[in-house]
Amino acid sequence: MRFLFFILAGFLLLTSCQQKTASTSMSDYFTYGDSIQAGGVKMIPIKTPVGDFKVWTKRFGTNPTIKILLLHGGPAMTHEYMECFETFFQKEGFEFYEYDQLGSYYSDQPTDSTLWTTDRFVEEVEQVRQAIGADSSNFYVLGNSWGGILGMEYALKYQKNLKALLVANMMASAPEYGKYADDVLAKQMKPDVLAEIRAIEAKKDFANPRYMELLIPHFYKEHLCRLTTWPDGFNRSMKHGNGVIYTMMQGPSEFGIGGRLAKWDIKNRLKEITIPTLMIGAKHDTMDPKAMEEQSKLVQKGRYLYCPDGSHLAMWDDQKVFMTGVIQFIHDVDSGNL
């Protein structure tokens, strides 16, 4: 009987220690050291050539070896469609940041058109990096779509400050992206639908509601997000997007590319990227998945992740494959296996 008592006492002590360790670990993860707790939300000051502004960020967790900055697409969409990372990254104990770039809904929205250049956005990301205390020992950038352009451009200038780069669903050449839309994706549409879309585009009648009435079911639902019901976060991003900046840089829609980004092309510079880099492509994407695979071979330490059921937002419509591959890549970089 006395023997059983000591076994039970030992078990209770061990359980108590385990619970205390787990509790302490969770406490450390969610303690940011702020004088006023705001759920990780901070407005980070940004200096630009035309004045000082603030951008919205939200931090999740504390991890000195893994700090991930999420770069949303658009340009001038919002962090909201990337909220799906919250479930997966918190389980892994990653420290990560949702972030609305300048001009987006939750950040300041200045109207000076000289601000909307890739180079200026790169400098913004660098200032955000400094503000969150990240460096080459722990800084990961994960960009989707336009965020992928921004991530690649940031790496070309500031890779000395990066641990790794993840590019989700963005080709390194805007002209090749446009050609893929015209030569491959457009031909998958019904001829009468395509003809009506092209007629609207020829007239530059982009405010015509018929334009999106055609594009959403015949292009966006096929190549942007294939879920029957679009996620709430994606719907909010669509609702909150800054159309002025988006049109100025991307053009009137996702069906090809125009605006200031129309001639953007850094494909021949990918060989300059020496940090571990994950390129993510998807079968139904607006971006050619074969081009994404090629890009993984053009960088010096590349890996390719293919999402067979995914589209431009494979983080949603091929979520298991996407998140498993992303998380594995981050762990491999963190452990020195890549």
Catalytic annotation, residues? 145, 285, 312
Alpha-helical segments (H) within the chain: 2-29, 85-92, 118-132, 146-158, 174-180, 191-202, 209-215, 221-223, 232-240, 243-249, 289-298, 314-317, 319-334
CA–CA dist 122, 139 (Å, integer): 15
Q: How many CB atoms lie within 10 A of CB 173?
A: 18
By C-alpha distance, which of 293, 313, 314 is closest to 302?
A: 293
Sheet holding 276-282, edge to edge: 41-48, 51-60, 95-100, 67-71, 139-144, 164-168, 276-282, 301-307
C-alpha angle with apex 225: 221 to 230, nearest 5 degrees? 90
Lookup result for tokens 């960088």: 299
Cα 47 to Cα 102, 105, 279, distances in angstroms: 11, 18, 31
Do residues 118 and 150 lie in contact, with contact meaning Cβ atoms separated by under 8 Å? yes
Rg (CA), the chain: 22
Do residues 169 and 280 lie in contact, with contact meaning Cβ atoms separated by under 8 Å? yes
Distance between first and last Cα of the chain:
55
Q: How many CB atoms lie within 10 A of CB 188?
A: 12
Q: In terms of DSSP bridges, do strands 164-168 and 276-282 run parallel, antiparallel, or are they unpaired?
A: parallel
Q: How many CB atoms lie within 10 A of CB 190?
A: 9
